[in-house]
Chain A
Amino acid sequence: MKFAKSTLAGLTALSLSFSVSAAEKLNIYTWSESIDPSLIEKFEQETGIQVTLDGYTSNEDLLAKLKSGSSDYDLVMPSQHFVKIMIQEDLLKNINAKSLAAFKNLDPRWKGQWWDPNDEYSIAFAYGTASFAFNTNEYSGPGNSWKEFFEPEESLKGKIAAFSTPDEIIPAAQAYLGIDFCSEDSNEMKRVYQLLKKQKPYVAVYSSDNISSRLAGGEVAMHSWWDGDTMRARKDNKAPIIYAQPLEGLIGWLDALVVPKGSRNTENAKTFINWISQEANATTQYNYYGHSSGFIINARNAKHKPNNSPEIFPEVRVKFTQACSPVAQKLVDKVWTQLLL
């Protein structure tokens, strides 16, 4: 009898441990190298949840993955306009973000925003800008206008690199030409196309990854880039790089944590969101990532301060990209397809 009991207990324990190991998983799909690996380790130790991390380099890639319906991700990190599109397209789970502990740690600026007005789906994670950065050994600047990037001087022929997707390049071109984002006017978009077409001979490569080595190594003199990434290359690798702050405006983005519809570990995803929002963790993440945090951080422990981080404390205005209507989106796609032919 005793034997039977202990066997039973053992079996129960075994089955429990099986069910636990089956449940305690979290598949995160984020921007490449965005989350501090030491934080992931700490999270796994503290909660026993096993994290699988996967990376993408464009919102478009993420949207295509989710649209295909075959992804098995529990937590993804689209930018604001894609959050809105994904909500519209019914790709996200309503996690009642307002009720999460993380919501209290959120910077009040990012509550009730247009992409998720009732704070149901998303929690702001990080925000920043897109512009271009240049290697001071190759180009002396001044780096205060999009003109330098779109209509470069002759010496920069074949020395410029741009992002591989239109997501931030076209808004930048629109900012330079004084055209509204998501314009539905095909004449205006024709001007955008002509500008980019004229720039193309100067462009060596359209790519959104390996930017750091390409720019710091002198393969190109000027590269589309994000604020925090430029700062990390400057601080960590001592690269001679300056982040341009065009007077026409920087292109703003905000990446938010959201849970895709097909997620099988939603509770673990919420646990992660709450955990990373805690002040100490958010501060560690801020110090690692170099982009401004969506959460309230501990200013005393923050490594990047206004006096040593001009990249993420810009002095020019920032224009956030928007979710375009189907008509505007088709024009954007047309510009980009024609450009790359």
Chain B
Amino acid sequence: MNQIINNAHKQNASINKPFNLRLSWNLIGLMPAYLVMFFLMIIPLGIIFYVSMMTSDPYGGYEAIFSLESYQQILFTYDWDDNLNLNFQYLIIIARTLLLASATAIICLLISFPVAYFISRQSNSTKALLLYLITLPFWVSMVIRVYAWVLILSNDGVLESSLTFLGLTSGMDSLLYNNNAMLVGMVYSYIPLMILPIYASIEKLDARLTEAASDLYSTRLSTLTKIILPLCKPGIVAGFILVFVPCLGTVLEPMLLGGGKTMMMGNLIQNQFSIARNWSFGASLAVVLLIIVMLFLMWNARKSSRPIVEGSAV
């Protein structure tokens, strides 16, 4: 009892402190975080915005002359006779990127959920080992892991020679340099980011709930859809975001496995800074990509915050 009064007293004291003093202490205490945000996020983003609104120098770099031409270029391009035309070519690239990222995230989800569920049902030591194996690829450079797929899928590669050895195929076409190869590489690269959050949410699942469900004659399917999936939704959503967002900016897989023929957002932006030497356009594309990601995250944040609001209202 005494303790509670004491605590209440302390709280009162802190509330009664002069407002300004508290504010300044908060500000100073949080300063490191503010500085990190300012220098590592606000400033670089500011530079990207700035460059996107300047004129690009044909030999790379930019000239400090204000121009919105790079934004115009996303929708309108000059054809070979120098007429300005509405052109959806860049929007197609954006759509293609969104499609590929969604496909990757969905395939990752379909594989990850059973895997995560399986892991969560193992003994503690097996669990630790399996989780360790899933995080293991993170210790190897991404470039090398994607290159490994080049060796697997290439002509006379691991896959073809094994299939030929088993007598399943003979002289099949190369599996490299197409959209499927790209998708395989992306699913492989990002799947651990999906398994881990789903595993974390399944792990927290109260086993008594599924027991209760089966006691109440729930079928296995309805236990899954009515109990397990809704409770694991936060993990699924987190995993989906963790896979979907980096997929939007992926560069390696389209380059190494896709053959550099099918443009994705990431490659398109990268090319503007190297081959095409159009920094302003590259920056404006980066801004567009950023806005897409922000809209997606905001939509998701609003969606996931709604049940809580409803809950508190009740």
Q: A53 to nearest B CB, angstroms?
A: 18
Bound-state CA distance A85–B57 (Å) is: 12
A219: chain B residues within 8 A (beta carbon):
154-155, 174, 176
Interface residue A89 (Cβ < 8 Å from any Cβ of B): yes
Task: Check A193–B174 contact: CB distance below 8 A.
Answer: no
Task: Check A329–B177 contact: CB distance below 8 A.
Answer: no
Task: Check B260–A88 contact: CB distance below 8 A.
Answer: no
B277: chain A residues within 8 A (beta carbon):
60, 63-64, 329, 333
What residue in chain B is nearest A340 (Cβ atoms)? B263
Task: Check B260–A205 contact: CB distance below 8 A.
Answer: yes
Bound-state CA distance A63–B155 (Å) is: 34
Q: Is the interface of B mostly helix, strand, loop or mixed?
A: loop
What residue in chain B is nearest A164 (Cβ atoms)? B260
A193: chain B residues within 8 A (beta carbon):
80
4 A-B pairs besides A205-B259, A217-B155 with CB distance below 8 A are A67-B60, A204-B259, A218-B155, A333-B277
> What 0/1 pattern do residues 209 to 246 of A give for CB contact below 8 A with B?
01000000111000000000000000000000000000
Q: A205 to nearest B CB, angstroms?
A: 4
Task: Check B275–A58 contact: CB distance below 8 A.
Answer: yes
Bound-state CA distance A337–B177 (Å) is: 19
A333: chain B residues within 8 A (beta carbon):
58, 275-278
Interface residue A341 (Cβ < 8 Å from any Cβ of B): yes
Known: A207-B260, A340-B263. A64 touches B154 (CB 8 A): no
B271: chain A residues within 8 A (beta carbon):
337, 340
What residue in chain B is nearest A189 (Cβ atoms)? B80
Q: List 20 A-B contacts (CB under 8 A).
A: A58-B274, A60-B274, A60-B275, A60-B277, A63-B60, A164-B260, A164-B275, A166-B275, A186-B82, A187-B80, A190-B80, A193-B80, A205-B259, A219-B176, A329-B59, A333-B58, A333-B275, A338-B89, A341-B93, A341-B263
B61: chain A residues within 8 A (beta carbon):
67, 89
Task: Check B60–A337 contact: CB distance below 8 A.
Answer: no
Q: Is the interface of A mostly helix, strand, loop or mixed?
A: helix
Interface residue A200 (Cβ < 8 Å from any Cβ of B): yes
Known: A64-B273, A186-B82, A340-B271. A330 touches B261 (CB 8 A): no
> What 0/1 pattern do residues 253 to 289 of B give for CB contact below 8 A with A?
0010001110100000001011111100000000000
Interface residue ranges, B against A (CB under 8 Å) = 58-61, 80-82, 89, 92-93, 150, 154-156, 173-174, 176-177, 255, 259-261, 263, 271, 273-278
What residue in chain B is nearest A167 (Cβ atoms)? B275
Q: How large is the interface on A (under 10, 10 to 19, 20 to 34, 35 or more residues)?
A: 35 or more
Task: Check B154–A217 contact: CB distance below 8 A.
Answer: yes
Interface residue A258 (Cβ < 8 Å from any Cβ of B): no
Bound-state CA distance A193–B80 (Å) is: 10
Q: A247 to nearest B CB, angstroms?
A: 29
Task: Check A326–B58 contact: CB distance below 8 A.
Answer: yes
Known: A329-B58, A340-B261. A165 touches B156 (CB 8 A): no
Task: Check B80–A186 contact: CB distance below 8 A.
Answer: yes
What residue in chain A is nearest B174 (Cβ atoms)? A219
Bound-state CA distance A58–B276 (Å) is: 12
Q: A249 to nearest B CB, angstroms?
A: 23
A60: chain B residues within 8 A (beta carbon):
274-275, 277
Task: Check B274–A61 contact: CB distance below 8 A.
Answer: yes
A338: chain B residues within 8 A (beta carbon):
89
Q: B161 to nearest A CB, angstroms?
A: 12
Q: A98 to nearest B CB, angstroms?
A: 26
| CB contact list, A84-135 vs B, under 8 A | 85, 88-89
What residue in chain A is nearest B267 (Cβ atoms)? A340
Q: Which of B58, B60, B81, B263 contacts A64 (CB 8 A)?
A: B60
Task: Check B259–A206 contact: CB distance below 8 A.
Answer: yes
